[in-house]
Structure 1
Amino acid sequence: MGIIVKKAGWQTMVMDQGRKNTRHLGVPSSGVTDLFQYWWANGLVHHFDFKGAGPAVLEVGTGPVEFVFDQPHVFAMTGSAGEYYLDDQKIPSHTTLHAKSQQILRIEKIARNGTIYLAIRGKWRVNRVYESASADVLSPFSGSAGNRLKDQDRIIIDQVGQMELSTVKTPDYLKPAKSSGPHTIRITAGAELHQCDQIKHALSEESFGISRNSSRMGYRLTTNQEYNHTMTSMVSSIVLPGMIQWPSGGEPILLLPNCQTTGGYPRVAKIIDADLWKLAYLGPGDHLEFKWTTREEAIYLRKYKTQQFTRFWNKLFPENIKNHSLTY
């Protein structure tokens, strides 16, 4: 039971919330970039247990892709706008859907630099390393934990509970929207910012492009002029997804979930947790603008974003989610 990957595309991977306690071992956390749409995709198929790494999903970055359901399944897709078909019938995203045996799910198009999260109800039998199924293509992990999916791969998903679930939809105001202009992302000060006075001004005043020389480890950002700061070297220190490092005489690097665990470049800023989801819908050719905020506001916004999900599901299914915490 499960799905057969008929057409994998080149950026389809198994993901979950990532490896929570491995960074001290030098192992990247990996995991989805947009935790909110990950939670919504799972909620739509009545997966509510997000302890640890949480349920597995498919993260799709480019189309077209095709999956064959070899048994009836309940599924949902969240994330970017796109074109989706079940056999030849066009279907919506951000809602609970039902597939019959041998039906084909096609994701024909995905918005530029977008991401789709595909949740399928059931227990996924996939490779897990350090208790997480998240793929890290730069690691030596075996199977889907270390590789993108390929044509003819099979994912076994054991059915659990009832298959005829009530249809739930994500409210429109909670769907990710992508603007055509520069994308504003809020940041707080990094550990070495106080040693790089010129950089603080640059981060608040300049627009940054995302270079094609980027990867799942991080976005390399382009600037209109060269900035130098006095800090030419430092002891390699802890880094996290969302941090911005800025080498002297070079261009800044915005770290993503598959980033390394330590680095020797100055850590000048950190994207607040409530805005990390925006990185799932950006890529080469897009432009960013940063806005400074306080630690207190960042904590408040993180709590607010999490409660947007829990309040909705508590109202519909209070017995399912009340005992399961959502964490970054």
Structure 2
Amino acid sequence: MTLLILRAGPLATVQDLGRSTWRDRGISRCGALDELALSWGNLLVGNAADAAGLEFTLGAASLRLDADCCIAVTGTDADATLDGRPLRPWWRQRAHAGQTLKLAAPRERMRSYVAISGGIAVPPSLGSRSTDLKAGFGGLGGALRDGDRLPLNPPTALPARAVGLRPPDWAATLRVLPGPEHEDFAASAREAFWHADWTVTPQSNRMGYRLAGPALRRERGDELASHGVLPGVIQVPPSGQPIVLLADAQTTGGYPRIGVVIRADLWKLAQLRLGATLRFTPCTPAEALGALRVQRQRLEQLRSALCMST
């Protein structure tokens, strides 16, 4: 059982929820940038939330299935069609062997996800099927290309009727914890950090989003020794223009950390297009943990509701 990539688009990859236990070895987490979109899509088609699916960046793409299965297209609106018939986003739908799924270039936001019942069955590397683009392993070893064929696990038996979800609320305001070097920055820089509109620059990628806005001046503090970093950390290099680290980010760094985007909001970054603007708002550790807890409770509620619907 396989699927054939007819048109891969500019940056299509196999992704699951990434490698969570290898950072001490210098291995990046990787995984879907929009974890909610992939997790919810997997639940729709009867998979575990961390099953491997496809991440498409800015479309347009097409693929052909060679087995009956269920599919769900989530993330940004990709105007998906199955043999020319429009598909509703964030819905589970039956697909038959030989049918072609097409995704158009999205009108808004950035990334689309395709979940397939059973999940993509590329061999796991270090416990994950996610593609690590900079290291060249996981998935098929890099970005997908036209003509690639991906193995599929046997599809989960599901009823024919369609089931859908309401997409999560999206806004370009990100909750942020003050970072270890937050107080090293001038008062004017801290004020600008919290109140400026920041623009995503073309120098952004899956490792991190480079932002443009007021230059953030560090007022005190010696040169920093190398330290561990995580997705969500907001570094400020000598240029004063922040970098928000994403799933493919390195595991260590030396730039001062003015803040950290909370885990529950990282998925929003995945959908910001180049040239889009965002704002930061302060958050406490208790609020960050509460937001993550609510997000995970919502995932369990969806799992239970979808199990009942089958």
Alignment CA distance shift 1:160-1:99 (3 Å): closer
Residue in structure 2 matching 1:147, options 136, 142, 164: 142
Number of residue pairs matched? 309
Structural mapping, 1:35-114, within 5 Å: 35-48=35-48, 50=49, 54-114=50-110
TM-score with structure 2 setting the length: 0.93
Residue in structure 2 matching 1:188, options 162, 177, 189: 177
Aligned mates of 1:123, 1:42 — CA distance in 2? 8
CA shift digits 1:243-285 (9 cap, x unpaired):
1011234311110100000000011100111211101111310
Amino acid at match of 1:190: G
Q: Identity rate of aligned residues, in percent? A: 30
CA shift digits 1:95-140 (9 cap, x unpaired):
1111111110000231344211110011532142111111111113
How far 1:316 moved relative to its partner? 4.1
Provide the secondary structure at the position in 1 that maps to 2:91: coil
Aligned to 2:294: 304
Structure 1 unaligned blocks of 5 or more:
321-328
Give the alignment's Cα RMSD to 1 decimal.
2.0
Aligned to 1:205: 195
Amino acid at match of 2:111: T
Aligned mates of 1:105, 1:55 — CA distance in 2? 20
Amino acid at match of 1:152: G
How far 1:205 moved relative to its partner? 1.9
Provide the secondary structure at the position in 1 that maps to 2:40: helix
Aligned mates of 1:278, 1:236 — CA distance in 2? 28
Alignment CA distance shift 1:306-1:143 (3 Å): closer
Residue in structure 2 matching 1:158, options 139, 153, 157: 153
Residue in structure 1 matching 2:223, options 218, 225, 233: 233
Structure 2 unaligned blocks of 5 or more:
none
Aligned mates of 2:285, 2:211 — CA distance in 1? 24
Aligned mates of 2:239, 2:76 — CA distance in 1? 36
Aligned mates of 2:170, 2:284 — CA distance in 1? 25
How far 1:210 moved relative to its partner? 1.1
Aligned mates of 2:204, 2:222 — CA distance in 1? 23
Aligned mates of 1:315, 1:92 — CA distance in 2? 19
Contact 2:184–2:218 (CA under 8 A) maintained in structure 1: no
Alignment CA distance shift 1:276-1:161 (3 Å): closer
